[in-house]
Structure 1
Protein backbone atom coordinates (compact mmCIF):
# COMPACT_ATOMS: atom_id res chain seq x y z
CA UNK A 1 0.00 0.00 0.00
CA UNK A 2 1.36 3.46 -0.81
CA UNK A 3 2.56 5.63 2.04
CA UNK A 4 0.28 8.26 3.55
CA UNK A 5 0.02 11.77 2.27
CA UNK A 6 1.03 14.52 4.64
CA UNK A 7 -1.72 16.14 6.66
CA UNK A 8 -2.66 19.57 5.41
CA UNK A 9 -0.84 22.13 7.57
CA UNK A 10 -3.98 24.26 7.73
CA UNK A 11 -6.33 21.31 8.42
CA UNK A 12 -7.53 22.70 11.80
CA UNK A 13 -8.93 25.73 9.94
CA UNK A 14 -10.47 23.80 7.03
CA UNK A 15 -13.92 22.22 6.78
CA UNK A 16 -15.99 20.33 4.24
CA UNK A 17 -17.90 22.52 1.76
CA UNK A 18 -21.03 23.79 3.47
CA UNK A 19 -24.26 25.50 2.54
CA UNK A 20 -24.67 28.53 4.80
CA UNK A 21 -28.22 29.21 3.59
CA UNK A 22 -29.74 25.92 4.82
CA UNK A 23 -32.67 26.53 7.20
CA UNK A 24 -31.21 23.93 9.63
CA UNK A 25 -27.60 23.40 10.76
CA UNK A 26 -25.43 21.96 7.99
CA UNK A 27 -22.99 19.14 8.69
CA UNK A 28 -19.55 20.16 9.89
CA UNK A 29 -16.35 18.13 9.70
CA UNK A 30 -14.56 20.63 11.93
CA UNK A 31 -15.28 20.51 15.65
CA UNK A 32 -14.33 24.21 15.93
CA UNK A 33 -17.30 25.21 13.75
CA UNK A 34 -21.03 24.64 13.72
CA UNK A 35 -23.10 22.87 16.36
CA UNK A 36 -21.56 21.09 19.33
CA UNK A 37 -20.91 17.38 18.95
CA UNK A 38 -23.68 15.37 20.61
CA UNK A 39 -22.56 13.70 23.85
CA UNK A 40 -23.47 10.29 22.44
CA UNK A 41 -20.88 10.84 19.67
CA UNK A 42 -17.95 11.67 21.97
CA UNK A 43 -16.50 8.18 21.45
CA UNK A 44 -16.31 8.93 17.70
CA UNK A 45 -14.80 12.41 18.12
CA UNK A 46 -11.36 11.41 16.69
CA UNK A 47 -13.02 10.42 13.40
CA UNK A 48 -14.65 13.79 12.70
CA UNK A 49 -12.87 15.45 9.79
CA UNK A 50 -11.96 15.07 6.14
CA UNK A 51 -9.39 12.34 5.43
CA UNK A 52 -7.54 11.69 2.17
CA UNK A 53 -4.91 9.19 1.10
CA UNK A 54 -4.40 5.95 -0.76
CA UNK A 55 -5.04 2.25 -0.40
CA UNK A 56 -4.93 -1.13 -2.05
CA UNK A 57 -7.60 -3.58 -3.18
CA UNK A 58 -7.02 -7.34 -3.44
CA UNK A 59 -9.45 -10.21 -3.89
CA UNK A 60 -9.36 -13.60 -5.64
CA UNK A 61 -12.14 -12.65 -8.08
CA UNK A 62 -10.65 -9.24 -8.97
CA UNK A 63 -7.63 -8.77 -11.22
CA UNK A 64 -5.04 -6.92 -9.23
CA UNK A 65 -4.03 -5.85 -6.68
CA UNK A 66 -4.84 -2.28 -7.62
CA UNK A 67 -4.18 1.03 -5.94
CA UNK A 68 -6.81 3.67 -5.23
CA UNK A 69 -7.03 7.17 -3.82
CA UNK A 70 -9.77 7.92 -1.32
CA UNK A 71 -11.44 10.70 0.60
CA UNK A 72 -13.61 9.98 3.65
CA UNK A 73 -15.68 12.65 5.41
CA UNK A 74 -17.03 12.13 8.93
CA UNK A 75 -19.29 15.07 9.84
CA UNK A 76 -22.14 15.89 12.23
CA UNK A 77 -25.03 18.31 12.66
CA UNK A 78 -25.31 18.17 16.45
CA UNK A 79 -27.57 15.11 16.57
CA UNK A 80 -26.49 11.66 17.89
CA UNK A 81 -24.89 10.34 14.68
CA UNK A 82 -22.05 11.06 12.28
CA UNK A 83 -22.67 11.33 8.57
CA UNK A 84 -20.17 9.39 6.45
CA UNK A 85 -19.15 9.79 2.82
CA UNK A 86 -16.42 7.98 0.93
CA UNK A 87 -15.23 8.65 -2.61
CA UNK A 88 -12.42 6.80 -4.31
CA UNK A 89 -10.55 6.80 -7.61
CA UNK A 90 -8.30 4.26 -9.31
CA UNK A 91 -4.62 5.11 -9.53
CA UNK A 92 -2.13 4.03 -12.18
CA UNK A 93 1.40 2.72 -11.56
CA UNK A 94 2.82 6.25 -11.37
CA UNK A 95 0.02 7.60 -9.17
CA UNK A 96 -1.94 9.07 -12.07
CA UNK A 97 -5.73 9.14 -11.76
CA UNK A 98 -7.36 6.60 -14.08
CA UNK A 99 -11.05 7.08 -13.25
CA UNK A 100 -13.59 7.52 -10.47
CA UNK A 101 -14.22 4.36 -8.44
CA UNK A 102 -16.36 3.25 -5.46
CA UNK A 103 -18.64 5.57 -3.49
CA UNK A 104 -20.36 5.00 -0.15
CA UNK A 105 -22.58 7.11 2.03
CA UNK A 106 -24.19 6.47 5.36
CA UNK A 107 -24.41 7.10 9.09
CA UNK A 108 -22.51 6.00 12.19
CA UNK A 109 -25.02 5.81 15.06
CA UNK A 110 -23.52 5.30 18.55
CA UNK A 111 -26.00 3.89 21.06
CA UNK A 112 -26.25 4.74 24.79
CA UNK A 113 -24.99 1.24 25.75
CA UNK A 114 -21.79 1.68 23.69
CA UNK A 115 -22.96 -0.35 20.72
CA UNK A 116 -22.28 1.20 17.32
CA UNK A 117 -24.77 0.93 14.46
CA UNK A 118 -23.44 1.77 11.00
CA UNK A 119 -25.57 1.97 7.87
CA UNK A 120 -23.70 2.21 4.53
CA UNK A 121 -25.08 2.38 1.02
CA UNK A 122 -22.82 1.84 -1.98
CA UNK A 123 -23.38 3.34 -5.43
CA UNK A 124 -23.01 -0.22 -6.74
CA UNK A 125 -26.42 -1.20 -5.31
CA UNK A 126 -25.46 -2.64 -1.91
CA UNK A 127 -26.68 -1.51 1.52
CA UNK A 128 -25.02 -2.88 4.65
CA UNK A 129 -26.06 -2.73 8.30
CA UNK A 130 -23.09 -3.12 10.65
CA UNK A 131 -22.91 -3.51 14.42
CA UNK A 132 -19.79 -3.07 16.49
CA UNK A 133 -18.03 -1.12 19.24
CA UNK A 134 -15.04 0.97 20.01
CA UNK A 135 -12.06 -1.28 20.79
CA UNK A 136 -10.41 1.61 22.63
CA UNK A 137 -10.36 5.42 22.34
CA UNK A 138 -8.91 5.37 18.81
CA UNK A 139 -10.15 2.20 17.09
CA UNK A 140 -13.54 0.84 16.06
CA UNK A 141 -14.58 -2.59 14.80
CA UNK A 142 -17.81 -3.29 12.94
CA UNK A 143 -19.29 -6.29 11.12
CA UNK A 144 -22.37 -6.77 9.00
CA UNK A 145 -25.62 -8.02 10.42
CA UNK A 146 -27.42 -7.63 7.10
CA UNK A 147 -26.50 -7.04 3.46
CA UNK A 148 -29.17 -6.04 0.94
CA UNK A 149 -28.42 -5.99 -2.80
CA UNK A 150 -30.17 -4.82 -5.92
CA UNK A 151 -30.45 -7.35 -8.76
CA UNK A 152 -27.52 -5.69 -10.59
CA UNK A 153 -25.14 -5.60 -7.58
CA UNK A 154 -22.24 -7.95 -6.89
CA UNK A 155 -22.95 -10.94 -4.67
CA UNK A 156 -21.69 -9.57 -1.32
CA UNK A 157 -22.80 -11.53 1.75
CA UNK A 158 -20.70 -10.14 4.64
CA UNK A 159 -18.18 -7.46 5.60
CA UNK A 160 -15.95 -6.80 8.59
CA UNK A 161 -14.12 -3.50 9.08
CA UNK A 162 -11.53 -2.21 11.50
CA UNK A 163 -10.81 1.54 11.64
CA UNK A 164 -8.13 3.14 13.78
CA UNK A 165 -5.89 6.12 14.27
CA UNK A 166 -2.28 5.07 13.73
CA UNK A 167 1.16 6.58 14.28
CA UNK A 168 1.26 10.17 13.08
CA UNK A 169 -2.50 10.63 13.57
CA UNK A 170 -3.51 9.07 10.24
CA UNK A 171 -6.73 7.07 9.84
CA UNK A 172 -6.20 3.50 8.65
CA UNK A 173 -8.74 0.79 7.96
CA UNK A 174 -9.05 -2.78 6.72
CA UNK A 175 -12.21 -4.10 5.04
CA UNK A 176 -12.72 -7.86 4.78
CA UNK A 177 -15.45 -9.13 2.45
CA UNK A 178 -17.29 -12.32 1.62
CA UNK A 179 -18.42 -11.94 -1.98
CA UNK A 180 -18.67 -13.73 -5.31
CA UNK A 181 -18.75 -17.13 -3.57
CA UNK A 182 -15.57 -16.47 -1.54
CA UNK A 183 -15.12 -16.71 2.24
CA UNK A 184 -14.58 -13.57 4.36
CA UNK A 185 -11.07 -12.28 3.60
CA UNK A 186 -9.13 -9.02 3.16
CA UNK A 187 -10.34 -6.82 0.31
CA UNK A 188 -9.47 -3.16 0.99
CA UNK A 189 -6.96 -1.34 3.16
CA UNK A 190 -6.00 2.34 3.22
CA UNK A 191 -4.17 4.97 5.19
CA UNK A 192 -5.57 8.51 5.10
CA UNK A 193 -4.30 11.82 6.44
CA UNK A 194 -6.48 14.55 7.89
CA UNK A 195 -6.93 17.41 5.42
CA UNK A 196 -9.67 19.29 7.30
CA UNK A 197 -11.09 19.40 10.79
Structure 2
Protein backbone atom coordinates (compact mmCIF):
# COMPACT_ATOMS: atom_id res chain seq x y z
CA UNK A 1 0.00 0.00 0.00
CA UNK A 2 2.78 2.43 0.90
CA UNK A 3 4.60 1.76 -2.38
CA UNK A 4 1.33 2.16 -4.26
CA UNK A 5 0.93 5.51 -2.50
CA UNK A 6 4.40 6.57 -3.64
CA UNK A 7 3.58 5.57 -7.22
CA UNK A 8 0.31 7.50 -7.13
CA UNK A 9 2.01 10.55 -5.65
CA UNK A 10 4.61 10.58 -8.42
CA UNK A 11 1.83 10.05 -10.97
CA UNK A 12 0.20 13.29 -9.78
CA UNK A 13 -2.66 11.42 -8.10
CA UNK A 14 -2.39 12.79 -4.57
CA UNK A 15 -5.89 11.71 -3.49
CA UNK A 16 -5.24 8.08 -4.33
CA UNK A 17 -1.81 8.37 -2.70
CA UNK A 18 -3.45 9.75 0.46
CA UNK A 19 -5.83 6.79 0.69
CA UNK A 20 -3.02 4.27 0.16
CA UNK A 21 -0.75 5.95 2.71
CA UNK A 22 -3.57 6.03 5.25
CA UNK A 23 -4.33 2.36 4.70
CA UNK A 24 -0.67 1.30 4.92
CA UNK A 25 -0.13 3.30 8.12
CA UNK A 26 -3.26 1.77 9.67
CA UNK A 27 -2.09 -1.75 8.83
CA UNK A 28 1.46 -1.20 10.05
CA UNK A 29 0.16 0.38 13.25
CA UNK A 30 -2.25 -2.51 13.85
CA UNK A 31 0.57 -5.04 13.52
CA UNK A 32 2.85 -2.92 15.73
CA UNK A 33 0.19 -2.77 18.45
CA UNK A 34 -0.08 -6.56 18.26
CA UNK A 35 3.59 -6.78 19.19
CA UNK A 36 5.41 -6.69 15.85
CA UNK A 37 7.89 -3.94 16.78
CA UNK A 38 9.99 -4.64 13.67
CA UNK A 39 7.57 -2.49 11.67
CA UNK A 40 8.70 0.76 13.29
CA UNK A 41 10.62 1.88 10.18
CA UNK A 42 7.62 1.10 7.97
CA UNK A 43 5.38 3.20 10.21
CA UNK A 44 7.86 6.09 10.12
CA UNK A 45 8.06 5.85 6.33
CA UNK A 46 4.27 5.82 5.98
CA UNK A 47 3.85 8.76 8.37
CA UNK A 48 6.54 10.74 6.54
CA UNK A 49 4.77 10.04 3.26
CA UNK A 50 1.52 11.31 4.77
CA UNK A 51 3.35 14.42 5.96
CA UNK A 52 4.69 14.95 2.44
CA UNK A 53 1.24 14.51 0.90
CA UNK A 54 0.03 17.21 3.31
CA UNK A 55 2.46 19.59 1.63
CA UNK A 56 1.27 18.56 -1.84
CA UNK A 57 -2.41 18.94 -0.95
CA UNK A 58 -1.70 22.21 0.84
CA UNK A 59 -0.16 23.59 -2.35
CA UNK A 60 -3.49 22.76 -4.03
CA UNK A 61 -5.30 24.47 -1.12
CA UNK A 62 -7.20 21.26 -0.39
CA UNK A 63 -7.24 21.81 3.34
CA UNK A 64 -10.01 19.29 3.98
CA UNK A 65 -7.81 16.44 2.75
CA UNK A 66 -4.73 17.92 4.40
CA UNK A 67 -6.68 17.77 7.64
CA UNK A 68 -7.69 14.14 6.93
CA UNK A 69 -4.04 13.22 6.47
CA UNK A 70 -2.92 15.06 9.58
CA UNK A 71 -5.68 13.48 11.67
CA UNK A 72 -4.40 10.07 10.56
CA UNK A 73 -0.87 11.06 11.56
CA UNK A 74 -1.92 12.37 14.98
CA UNK A 75 -4.19 9.40 15.70
CA UNK A 76 -1.44 6.97 14.73
CA UNK A 77 1.06 8.63 17.06
CA UNK A 78 -1.55 8.57 19.85
CA UNK A 79 -2.01 4.81 19.34
CA UNK A 80 1.74 4.23 19.34
CA UNK A 81 2.09 6.38 22.46
CA UNK A 82 -0.46 4.18 24.22
CA UNK A 83 2.04 1.29 24.14
CA UNK A 84 5.37 3.16 24.11
CA UNK A 85 6.04 6.40 25.99
CA UNK A 86 9.06 7.03 23.74
CA UNK A 87 6.60 8.41 21.19
CA UNK A 88 5.46 11.33 23.37
CA UNK A 89 7.50 13.98 21.55
CA UNK A 90 6.37 12.85 18.08
CA UNK A 91 2.76 12.75 19.28
CA UNK A 92 2.98 16.30 20.62
CA UNK A 93 4.44 17.55 17.32
CA UNK A 94 1.74 15.73 15.35
CA UNK A 95 -0.97 17.31 17.50
CA UNK A 96 0.63 20.74 17.02
CA UNK A 97 0.65 20.25 13.24
CA UNK A 98 -2.95 19.04 13.41
CA UNK A 99 -3.87 22.27 15.17
CA UNK A 100 -2.24 24.28 12.37
CA UNK A 101 -3.93 22.42 9.52
CA UNK A 102 -7.29 22.44 11.31
CA UNK A 103 -7.15 26.25 11.20
CA UNK A 104 -6.88 26.17 7.40
CA UNK A 105 -9.75 23.67 7.19
CA UNK A 106 -11.71 26.06 9.43
CA UNK A 107 -12.18 23.37 12.07
CA UNK A 108 -11.46 25.66 14.97
CA UNK A 109 -12.65 23.38 17.79
CA UNK A 110 -10.40 20.64 16.37
CA UNK A 111 -7.52 23.14 16.26
CA UNK A 112 -8.02 24.14 19.87
CA UNK A 113 -8.34 20.53 21.07
CA UNK A 114 -5.20 19.46 19.20
CA UNK A 115 -3.18 22.45 20.47
CA UNK A 116 -4.20 21.77 24.07
CA UNK A 117 -3.30 18.08 23.65
CA UNK A 118 0.10 19.03 22.23
CA UNK A 119 0.79 21.29 25.20
CA UNK A 120 -0.40 18.59 27.60
CA UNK A 121 2.08 16.14 26.07
CA UNK A 122 4.91 18.66 25.88
CA UNK A 123 4.49 21.78 28.05
CA UNK A 124 7.85 23.00 26.73
CA UNK A 125 6.49 22.95 23.15
CA UNK A 126 5.43 26.57 23.51
CA UNK A 127 5.44 27.06 19.70
CA UNK A 128 1.97 25.47 19.72
CA UNK A 129 0.63 28.59 21.43
CA UNK A 130 0.65 30.25 18.00
CA UNK A 131 -2.03 27.76 16.88
CA UNK A 132 -3.89 27.86 20.17
CA UNK A 133 -4.17 31.65 20.13
CA UNK A 134 -5.61 31.59 16.62
CA UNK A 135 -8.09 28.86 17.51
CA UNK A 136 -9.22 30.91 20.50
CA UNK A 137 -9.65 33.98 18.27
CA UNK A 138 -11.73 32.09 15.73
CA UNK A 139 -13.89 30.61 18.49
CA UNK A 140 -14.56 34.08 19.89
CA UNK A 141 -12.53 33.47 23.05
CA UNK A 142 -10.83 36.83 22.81
CA UNK A 143 -9.64 37.03 26.41
CA UNK A 144 -7.95 33.62 26.17
CA UNK A 145 -6.28 34.64 22.91
CA UNK A 146 -5.22 37.99 24.34
CA UNK A 147 -3.63 36.29 27.34
CA UNK A 148 -1.54 34.08 25.04
CA UNK A 149 -0.53 36.97 22.79
CA UNK A 150 0.51 39.20 25.69
CA UNK A 151 2.36 36.37 27.47
CA UNK A 152 4.48 35.38 24.49
CA UNK A 153 4.73 38.34 22.09
CA UNK A 154 8.18 39.54 23.16
CA UNK A 155 9.75 36.11 23.65
CA UNK A 156 12.02 34.57 21.03
CA UNK A 157 10.30 31.94 18.91
CA UNK A 158 11.98 28.60 19.71
CA UNK A 159 14.12 27.07 17.01
CA UNK A 160 13.82 30.02 14.66
CA UNK A 161 17.19 30.56 12.99
CA UNK A 162 16.37 34.15 12.03
CA UNK A 163 15.76 35.32 15.60
CA UNK A 164 12.08 36.11 15.18
CA UNK A 165 9.90 36.73 18.21
CA UNK A 166 6.50 35.20 18.83
CA UNK A 167 5.02 38.57 17.78
CA UNK A 168 6.44 38.17 14.29
CA UNK A 169 5.23 34.57 14.03
CA UNK A 170 1.78 35.46 15.37
CA UNK A 171 1.43 38.19 12.74
CA UNK A 172 2.83 36.02 9.94
CA UNK A 173 0.37 33.25 10.79
CA UNK A 174 -2.55 35.67 10.65
CA UNK A 175 -1.31 36.95 7.30
CA UNK A 176 -0.94 33.42 5.94
CA UNK A 177 -4.48 32.51 6.94
CA UNK A 178 -5.82 35.79 5.55
CA UNK A 179 -4.07 35.10 2.24
CA UNK A 180 -6.27 32.00 2.00
CA UNK A 181 -9.39 34.00 2.82
CA UNK A 182 -9.54 32.83 6.43
CA UNK A 183 -9.95 35.75 8.80
CA UNK A 184 -11.55 36.50 12.12
CA UNK A 185 -13.17 39.77 13.12
CA UNK A 186 -10.78 39.87 16.08
CA UNK A 187 -7.63 39.86 13.88
CA UNK A 188 -7.45 43.65 14.06
CA UNK A 189 -7.75 43.57 17.86
CA UNK A 190 -5.07 40.92 18.05
CA UNK A 191 -2.75 43.01 15.91
CA UNK A 192 -3.20 45.90 18.36
CA UNK A 193 -2.43 43.60 21.29
CA UNK A 194 0.77 42.60 19.52
CA UNK A 195 2.05 46.18 19.11
TM-score band w.r.t. shorter chain: under 0.3
Which one has the bigger helix percentage? 2
Bigger CA radius of gyration: 2
Q: TM (normalized to structure 2)? A: 0.25
Larger RCO, structure (CA 8 Å, separation 6 or more) = 1
Which one has the bigger strand percentage? 1
